[in-house]
């Protein structure tokens, strides 16, 4: 009925002599939960990295709502609406939980460095709404009590959820979750599954999940 | 019991060796002079009279006390007997060790051995002072006595303090916790009061205003240098502390600022004679442009590579300044004399005026750095420092923000360079060696990466303490190096580590206050 969120055509990524991703055609519809599955070393994460802009594929094209995105720097891709999490959690460790989410909100803010010295009205308003939004997201993933805790002090499951909150803070239309339940016990996995379903149903995100 | 004894013995031996080291470099007399200055009990400036024995005893006492305190860790649960044993063990071992060495040195000195052949600071006069002008045996007994007593007191104080906090925790029922909380929130509320805050600010301001009058020109000079280094530290803190880019050639921007200012205001070699305040502005702008010149090509590099390239850049600027090629422009190795000085009420700036100006600028710099830190920009920088790849994938234009950090840092350096040249009335290429970059970097690291109070503390420690240690002459740098090593072992995260801004607690705190106020009245 409408455009697919992600469409790839013949994406190929080669590392030296190794073809990690070979001629992949991918089609991710809107408001869906899609999953890439495969054994270790199949190139799932490489494909992820191609979509989020870490790698530029040698061949093929990647379209995001009809726009070509390969070759763009990662921050551009992020501000277009693709946010991701990482297989091995990569939070800003020294920053608190809420600051991590605020960094996620960065592409949706406009304050310049000069405004932040002046603290004019526009800056203060934007900052306040960003903090409110961040608290909201932390509440959503169940971390509002730990907002001022440095990320390195959070328990494992909380770190994974914080990564999702950080990704959501950029108001993405596509969420790339790289092995979101890796290393989790059955209960945590169930919670994560519910969270992902809820993301699709109530927040209308499209999820692409990488799962071994 | 055995453990307390062991701990005590360990600390005692460490203390003893440190004390012997200090004795060998002649530190005790410096320390007792400082104590004398603090207590104000020195009547005469005569060097021999200055060394009053009581100050030496106070110094020994302080060391013994610290040894006693450090026998047990903060949260260690030790019985009273254990702490007595530990304190005694520490005091006896350190006292015996130092007493023995003092006895040996004293006896050898009496028999005519000249220590100065090997240890320049350990002359006969010094040794007799260390012996309290009595016999070696009596002196070593005094050492033993004071080390043991004070170490015992130290250990007991530690025990008493921990007892108190345990008591607090035990009795910490709702009521006492509540009153404790109320106390702290009351204090906070007190500080939140606008009038109280204003009064405090005025008080500190007045204090700062009159301080330079009290100092005298020597201390104004030292403190001025400290202030210039605080400014430099604030700038480099933006680059290294916030955005995490290891730039080793920071001195280049300092030099650019100083030379721009000097060339624009000095009669030689160009006689432009520009308005001074305009010249300061231009110096900042030129430094920023230098930053841009350097930043655009190299900020794509990371980590070690960036460090090496910037290291080279710093040296290139210094060598260019003194090169034959640029001598017509920069006066080469001779440097520039008669750099312009600001005029205030018809008179050239005195050292007091400079101090006031520097204080104002440091406050302004702190203000700017603080506001930057707690903003979108600051968060982007810290994210880059933590994980550049992820920061970019989270939507931060890392290249842009890294250059911004470099430019703002360069602006700070340009400003302090202009002040530096103006205050010294001279600037030459040898003012801008690699050591300046290293010193500023040390300020940032010793103070605590990304921490503003850390920069201030670091500047005082790194530029102020060496002045206090000046009497040690040859050993100054040795002691200073040892201090740095000890500091990095004891506090690897810096003297005053950066604190993260709290978003929640403030709200919760004020909410609690509002809820609980009625309960108090009941």
The torsion angles phi and psi of A142, rounded to 5 degrees, stand at 80, 30
Helices B276-298 and B398-424 sit at what angle, rounded to 10 degrees? 140
Is the torsion defined by CA of B502, B505, B510, B513 positive or negative?
negative
- For the cut 90, the answer to whether the pLDDT of residue B24 exceeds it is no
Cβ neighbours of A148 (radius 10 Å) = 17
What is the distance in angstroms between the Cα of A145 and the nearest Cα belonging to chain B?
9
Measure CB to CB from residue B382 to each of A95, A119, A147 and give the nearest one. A95
pLDDT the model gives residue A204? 63
Asked whether the predicted pLDDT for residue B246 surpasses 60, the reply is: yes
pTM listed for this prediction: 0.79
The H-assigned helical ranges of B47-173 are 47-50, 53-69, 80-110, 124-130, 136-171
- Tell me phi and psi for residue A64, to 5 degrees: -120, 110
Q: Tens digit of pLDDT for each residue in B430-488?
A: 889 988 998 899 899 888 888 999 999 999 988 887 777 776 666 777 777 887 788 77
A102 touches chain B (CB under 8 A): yes
- The alpha carbon of residue A134 is apart from the nearest alpha carbon of chain B, in Å, by 11
How far is Cα B188 from Cα A165, in angstroms, rounded to an integer? 32
CB burial of residue B385 (10 Å; 0-12, 13-18, 19+): buried
Look up residue A62 and give its two tokens: 């990647």
Q: Across chain B, which distance is largest between two alpha carbons, in Å?
A: 84
Going by C-beta distance under 8 Å and a sequence separation of 6 or more, which residues neighbour residue B134?
Answer: none
- Report residue B344's pLDDT band, with 50, 70 and 90 as the boundaries: confident
Residue B76 has pLDDT above 70, yes or no: no
pLDDT at B205 over 90: no
Contact yes or no for B103/B140 (Cβ under 8 A): yes
| Residues whose CB is less than 8 angstroms from the CB of residue B294 and which lie 6 or more positions away in sequence, other chains included | B249, B252, B310, B313, B406
Q: Note whether A45 contacts B: Cβ–Cβ < 8 A.
A: no
Residue of A nearest to B380 (CA): A103
Query: What is the maximum alpha-carbon separation in chain A?
Result: 56
Please report which helix (H) or strand (E) contains residue B290, including its range. Answer: helix B276-298
Closest CA to A193 of A167, A168, A164: A164
Give the count of beta carbons closer than 10 Å to the beta carbon of residue B85: 22
Q: What is the pLDDT of residues A20-63, one digit of tens each?
A: 888 989 888 877 888 888 888 888 888 889 999 999 999 999 99
Tokens of B171: 């009795």
CA–CA dist A134, A144 (Å, integer):
9
Spans of chain A below 70 pLDDT: 1-2, 203-208, 210-212
- Chain A residues 115-174 within an 8 A CB cutoff of chain B: 116-117, 119, 123, 126-127, 130-131, 135, 144, 147-148, 150, 166, 170
Does A95 contact B503 at a Cβ distance shorter than 8 Å? no
- Of A93, A150, A170, which has the smallest distance from its Cβ to B395's Cβ? A170
**Minimal CA separation from B402 to chain A, in Å:** 13
Q: Dihedral through CA B78, CA B83, CA B85, CA B86, nearest 10?
A: 90
**Whole-angstrom Cα distance, residue B321 to residue B433?**
12
For residue B203, name the pLDDT band (cuts at 50, 70, 90).
confident
Can you give the C-alpha Rg of chain A in angstroms? 18
Q: To the nearest whole angstrom, how far is the Cα of A138 from the nearest Cα of chain B?
A: 12
| CA-based torsion, A141, A147, A151, A154: positive or negative | negative
CB distance from A96 to chain B under 8 Å?
yes
ipTM above 0.95, yes or no: no
Q: Average pLDDT of chain B? A: 82
Q: What is the DSSP string of chain A?
A: ----SEEEEEEEEEETTEEEEEEEEEEE-TT-EEEEE-STTSSHHHHHHHHHTSS--SEEEEEETTEE-TTS-HHHHHHHTEEE--SS----TTSBHHHHHHHHTGGG----HHHHHHT-HHHHHHHHHHHHHHHHHHHHTT-GGGTTSBGGGS-HHHHHHHHHHHHHTT--SEEEEESTTTT--HHHHHHHHHHHHHHHHTT--EEEEEE-
Q: What was the pLDDT predicted at B179?
A: 46
Classify residue B89 by burial, with Cβ atoms within 10 Å: 0-12, 13-18, 19+.
Answer: buried
Residues in chain A with CB shorter than 8 Å from the CB of B366 are: none
pLDDT digits (tens, 9 = 90+) for B467-483: 777 766 667 777 778 87
Contact yes or no for B371 and A116 at CB 8 A: yes
The shortest CB-CB distance from B395 to any of A54, A75, A111 is to A75
Whole-angstrom Cα Rg for chain B: 28
Residue with tokens 């104000």: B40
- Residue A141 tokens, joined: 């993933």
pLDDT tens for B118-149 read 777 788 878 888 888 888 888 888 889 888 99
- Compare all CA atoms of chain A with the CA of B498 and give the residue at the minimum distance: A94
Burial-class residue A32 by CB neighbours within 10 Å (0-12, 13-18, 19+). middle
Chain A residue with CA closest to B368: the answer is A117
Burial class (CB in 10 A: 0-12, 13-18, 19+), B350: middle
| pLDDT tops 70 at residue B422 | yes
Read off the DSSP letter of residue B472: G
Smallest CA–CA distance, residue B404 to chain A, in Å, is: 9
Is the pLDDT at B369 greater than 70? The verdict is yes
Residue in A with minimal Cα distance to B387: A92
Decide if A113 and B375 are in contact by the 8 Å CB cutoff.
yes
The verdict on a CB contact (< 8 Å) between B382 and A131 is no
Q: Both tokens of residue A15?
A: 């590392």
User: Encoding tokens for residue B366?
Assistant: 């702190």
Spatial distance between the Cα atoms of A150 and B503, rounded to a whole number of angstroms: 12
Q: What is the pLDDT of residue B235?
A: 96
Band of pLDDT at residue B36, cut at 50, 70 and 90? confident
pLDDT value for B398? 93
Main-chain dihedrals φ then ψ at residue B73, nearest 5 degrees: -80, 165
* Mean pLDDT lowest among A68-82, B51-65, B278-292, B403-417: B51-65
Instruction: Find chain B residues with C-beta within 8 A of A45's C-beta.
Output: none
Reply yes or no on whether the pLDDT at B177 is more than 70. no
CB contact under 8 A, A103 and B377: no
Chain A neighbors of B376, CB-CB under 8 A: 102, 106, 109, 111, 116, 126-127, 130
The proportion of chain B whose per-residue pLDDT surpasses 70, expressed as a percent, equals: 87
pLDDT band at B514 (very low <50, low <70, confident <90, very high): very low
> Which residues of B are less than 8 Å from A173 in CB distance?
none
- The pLDDT value recorded for residue B188 is 55
Nearest CA in chain A to B396: A75
Sign of torsion over alpha carbons B260, B266, B272, B273: positive
Residue located via tokens 């006595």: B145
How many interface pairs between A and B have CB atoms less than 8 angstroms apart?
Answer: 115
Q: Using a CB-CB distance cutoff of 8 angstroms, which residues of chain A are in contact with residue B385?
A: 94
Contact indicator for B462, B442 with CB cutoff of 8 Å: yes
Contacts (Cβ under 8 Å, ≥6 apart) of A197: A33
The answer on pLDDT for B251 being more than 80 is yes
What would the DSSP string read from start to end of A98-157?
A: HHHHHHHTGGG----HHHHHHT-HHHHHHHHHHHHHHHHHHHHTT-GGGTTSBGGGS-HH
More reliable by pLDDT, B396 or B299: B396
């Amino acid at each position: 009925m409408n455009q697919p969120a992600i469409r790839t055509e013949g994406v190929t990524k080669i590392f030296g002599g190794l073809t990690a991703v070979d001629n992949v055609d991918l089609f991710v519809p809107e408001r869906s939960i899609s999953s890439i599955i495969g054994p270790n070393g199949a190139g799932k994460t490489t494909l992820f990295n191609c979509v989020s802009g870490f790698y530029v594929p040698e061949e093929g094209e990647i379209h995001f709502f009809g726009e070509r995105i390969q070759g763009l720097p990662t921050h551009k891709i992020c501000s277009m609406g693709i946010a991701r999490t990482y297989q091995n959690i990569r939070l800003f460790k020294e920053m608190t939980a809420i600051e991590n989410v605020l960094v996620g909100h960065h592409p949706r803010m406009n304050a310049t460095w000069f405004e932040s010295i002046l603290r004019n009205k526009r800056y203060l308003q934007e900052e306040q709404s960003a903090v409110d939004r961040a608290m909201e997201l932390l509440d959503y993933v169940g971390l509002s009590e730990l907002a001022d805790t440095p990320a390195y002090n959070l328990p494992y499951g909380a770190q994974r959820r914080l990564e999702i909150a950080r990704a959501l803070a950029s108001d993405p239309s596509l969420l790339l979750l790289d092995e979101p339940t890796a290393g989790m016990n059955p209960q945590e996995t169930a919670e994560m599954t519910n969270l992902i379903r809820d993301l699709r149903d109530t927040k209308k995100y499209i999820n692409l999940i990488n799962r071994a | 019991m055995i453990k307390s004894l062991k701990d005590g013995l360990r600390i005692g031996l460490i203390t003893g060796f440190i004390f012997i080291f200090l004795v060998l470099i002649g530190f005790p007399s410096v320390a007792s002079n400082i104590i004398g200055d603090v207590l104000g009990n020195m009547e005469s400036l005569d060097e021999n009279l200055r060394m009053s024995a009581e100050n030496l005893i106070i110094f020994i006492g302080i060391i013994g006390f610290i040894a006693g305190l450090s026998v047990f860790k903060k949260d260690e649960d030790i019985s009273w007997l254990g702490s007595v044993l530990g304190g005694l063990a520490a005091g006896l071992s350190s006292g015996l060790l130092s007493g023995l060495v003092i006895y040996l040195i004293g006896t050898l000195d009496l028999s005519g051995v000249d220590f100065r052949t090997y240890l320049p600071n350990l002359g006969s006069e010094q040794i007799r002072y260390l012996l309290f002008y009595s016999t070696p045996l009596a002196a070593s007994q005094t050492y033993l006595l004071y080390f043991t007593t004070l170490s015992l007191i130290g250990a007991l104080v530690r025990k008493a303090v921990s007892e108190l906090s345990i008591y607090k925790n035990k009795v910490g029922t709702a009521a006492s916790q509540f009153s404790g909380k109320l106390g702290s929130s009351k204090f906070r509320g007190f500080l939140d009061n606008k009038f109280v805050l204003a009064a405090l600010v005025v008080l500190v301001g007045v204090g700062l205003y009159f301080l330079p009058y009290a100092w005298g020109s020597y201390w104004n000079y030292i403190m001025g240098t400290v202030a210039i280094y605080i400014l430099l530290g604030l700038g480099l803190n933006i680059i290294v502390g916030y955005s995490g880019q290891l730039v080793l050639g920071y001195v280049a921007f300092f030099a650019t600022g100083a030379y721009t200012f000097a060339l624009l205001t000095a009669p030689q070699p160009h006689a432009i004679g520009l308005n001074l305040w305009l010249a300061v502005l231009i110096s900042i702008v030129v430094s920023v442009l230098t930053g841009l010149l350097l930043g655009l090509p190299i900020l794509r590099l990371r980590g070690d590579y960036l460090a090496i390239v910037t290291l080279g850049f710093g040296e290139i600027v210094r060598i260019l300044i003194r090169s034959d090629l640029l001598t017509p422009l920069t006066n080469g190795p001779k440097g520039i004399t008669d750099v312009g000085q600001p005029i205030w009420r018809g008179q050239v700036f005195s050292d007091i005026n400079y101090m006031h100006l520097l204080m104002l600028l440091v406050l302004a710099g702190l203000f700017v750095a603080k506001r930057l830190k707690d903003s979108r920009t600051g968060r982007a920088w810290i994210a880059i420092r933590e994980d550049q790849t992820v920061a970019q994938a989270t939507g931060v234009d890392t290249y842009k923000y890294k250059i911004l950090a470099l430019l703002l840092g360069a602006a700070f350096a340009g400003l302090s360079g202009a002040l530096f040249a103006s205050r010294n009335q001279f600037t030459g290429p040898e003012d801008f060696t690699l050591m300046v970059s290293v010193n500023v970097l040390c300020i940032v690291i010793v103070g605590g990466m990304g921490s503003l109070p850390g920069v201030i503390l670091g500047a005082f420690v790194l530029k102020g303490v060496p002045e206090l240690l000046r009497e040690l002459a040859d050993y100054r740098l040795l002691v200073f190096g040892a201090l740095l090593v000890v500091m990095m072992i004891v506090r690897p995260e810096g003297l005053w580590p950066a604190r993260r801004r709290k978003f929640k607690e403030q709200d919760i705190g004020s909410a609690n206050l509002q809820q609980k106020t009625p309960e108090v009245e009941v």
